[in-house]
Chain A
């Protein structure tokens, strides 16, 4: 089976993002708690663990893009998560914002509550935009959901 690097990265990214989104949106407030059955201990643990994996995947993706740039590899990686234009660029920017604000929330919660408040606000609203963009992305790429089987030709009468 020929598994491509960009394909694996795309779906690893999707799985980690799904875990982050479910656990994160569940912790937004009391109205959202039913998404995680009000089990914030598990949601918090899953969110932080997935965030660490997310940062590693982002780092690998950026390093790979830089490596391709140095090697002057202009081959189009259709499944790759970050890139120079379109949805790939949007993903890159939102990812960096989410990682930086997430790190601020994680690190500054002990000594700078104003930074945490600001970072939480940005983190939450960027997440809403990113979730909406994922729905848009699925809509644009819906051909991946269609069956590739060709319709069988009907036998001609007569």
Chain B
């Protein structure tokens, strides 16, 4: 796969993307500020996100009984599922170890 030109180009693209992103994060963290303009843009951006994004939808959960019921159900079964998964994982490991020792 690595000999294909398009794969090579894609890997180069992804590598460059991550280097630029890391550089952007470092610049953002170390630069002075935030300036007044940035703070205003931040506030306005957050306000627009309240209206027209999933953040806004999330704000309306309290009016949605069906969604509330789904969240309550998933919250209540999350812990048992995790416990069952851990027990199953340990069980598989022990089962494999026993077979290896035979």
Contacts and interface: CB of A to CB of B under 8 A. Distances in A.
Nearest to A72: B96
Given A48-B54, A135-B22, A30 B48 contact: no
A148 B3 contact: yes
Interface in A61-87: 66, 69-70, 72
B1 A38 contact: no
Nearest to A144: B11
Interface residues of B, number: 47
B25 A25 contact: yes
B45 A70 contact: no
Interface of B: 1-3, 8, 10-12, 14-15, 17-19, 21-22, 24-25, 28-29, 31, 33-34, 38-39, 41-42, 44-46, 48-49, 51-55, 58-59, 61-62, 71, 75, 88-89, 92-93, 96, 99
B22 to A, nearest CB: 5
A155 B2 CA distance: 29
B23 to A, nearest CB: 10
A118 interface: no
Contacts of A72: 96, 99
A41 interface: yes
Contact of A138 (B18, B75, B88, B96): B18
A38 B21 contact: no
Given A31-B38, A40-B53, A70 B21 contact: no
B22 A30 contact: no
Interface residues of A, number: 46
A131 B21 contact: yes
Contacts of A132: 22
A40 B21 CA distance: 17
Contact of A30 (B10, B15, B34, B54): B34
Contact of B33 (A3, A4, A30, A44): A30
9 contacts: A30-B34, A30-B38, A31-B33, A38-B41, A38-B44, A69-B96, A72-B99, A107-B71, A147-B8
B75 A107 contact: yes
A66 B92 contact: yes
B48 A40 contact: yes
